[in-house]
Amino acid sequence: MSVTSIARAVRVPGLIPPYTPTGDEIAVFELAYRNRLPVLIKGPTGCGKTRFVEHMAARLGRALYTVSCHDDLSASDLVGRHLIDASGTYWTDGPLTQAVRHGGICYLDEVVEARKDTTVVLHALSDDRRILPIDRTGEILEAPPEFMLVVSYNPGYQHLLKGLKPSTRQRFVSLAFGFPEAAREAEIVATESGVDPATAKRLVTLANALRSTADHDLEEAPGTRLIVDAAKLIAGGCDPQVACRAAIVECLSDEPEITRALMVVVLAIFGN
């Protein structure tokens, strides 16, 4: 896997992705940045964690290096590795090293999905040392004041053996995210999709109805992201029932019995 394919620095001057705060998360994040503290964001899928980080990176004027963690992600993928071409061997920085060198924000999404050696690399960056040792080149990089480490995970979905270790978790300032209260979520859905407020409200009612049964029938509750996707389809002229099936129901389960049960809820809300 190419290191450069894992993450891409994103910085668009003057363009701040929209984000509707639900509490004091913006103020806490800014204070953590000023005090050179790493941040851990925990919450369910689709609740706005990634959008929040994108918003804050643009707000602070820093390049954002986003890494979607997975089972095969290793420390070398983050730090860098030697590669070979026709001219010989050369070193290529990974996204974490790039963020340290250039004073950007490195965001590791679903960090517990990565291999165990990955979190070990983060320890020296997430305490008072703020250094990144690169064993293969003999360098020890000192993170500039502008560098920030941000990680996220979904505590409700992780396997018992994949939980974040206390020794790692306690190195971060933690922000707990959840789904917004209904009126605020409806406002977000309407703003993001362009759908009318009444339809946005019905979609949020649907989401909350499905969330109330998620612990029993679903691996994960429907996130705001799914609701916005359905709203975009409806705003584009799609029938609400069809949109809800395609953007919500079929995304939550592959079991015919469960999808039929979910569509009963959809029909109760969008049946007329």
Question: Which residues neighbour 60 within 8 Å (Cβ) at sequence distance 6 or greater?
Answer: 30, 33, 105
pTM: 0.85
**What pLDDT does 18 receive?**
87
Q: Which one, of 76, 92, 81, 99, lies nearest residue 149 by Cα? A: 99
- CA torsion angle 266 47 43 217 (round to 10): 10
**What pLDDT does 115 receive?**
82
- CB contact at 8 A, 214 and 223: no
Question: Which residues neighbour 151 within 8 Å (Cβ) at sequence distance 6 or greater?
Answer: 38, 39, 40, 41, 107, 108, 109, 111, 122, 172
Q: Give the integer Cα–Cα distance in Å for 65 and 73.
A: 15
- CA torsion angle 122 220 248 211 (round to 10): -120
pLDDT under 70: residue ranges of the chain: 1-14, 156-163, 214-217, 272
- The string of pLDDT tens digits covering residues 150-173 is 999 888 655 444 667 787 888 999
**What pLDDT does 3 receive?**
42
Helical ranges in 194-255 per DSSP H: 197-211, 214-217, 224-235, 240-244, 250-252
Q: Give the integer Cα–Cα distance in Å for 175 and 188.
A: 20
- The single-letter code of the amino acid at 111 is V
Alpha-carbon radius of gyration of the chain: 21
Query: What are the start-end ranges of the E strands in the chain?
Result: 9-10, 39-42, 64-68, 80-85, 88-93, 105-109, 131-134, 139-142, 148-153, 173-176
- CB contact at 8 A, 147 and 100: yes
**What pLDDT does 2 receive?**
42
Q: Give the integer Cα–Cα distance in Å for 152 and 260.
A: 33
- The string of pLDDT tens digits covering residues 107-157 is 999 988 888 778 888 999 999 999 999 988 899 999 999 999 999 988 865
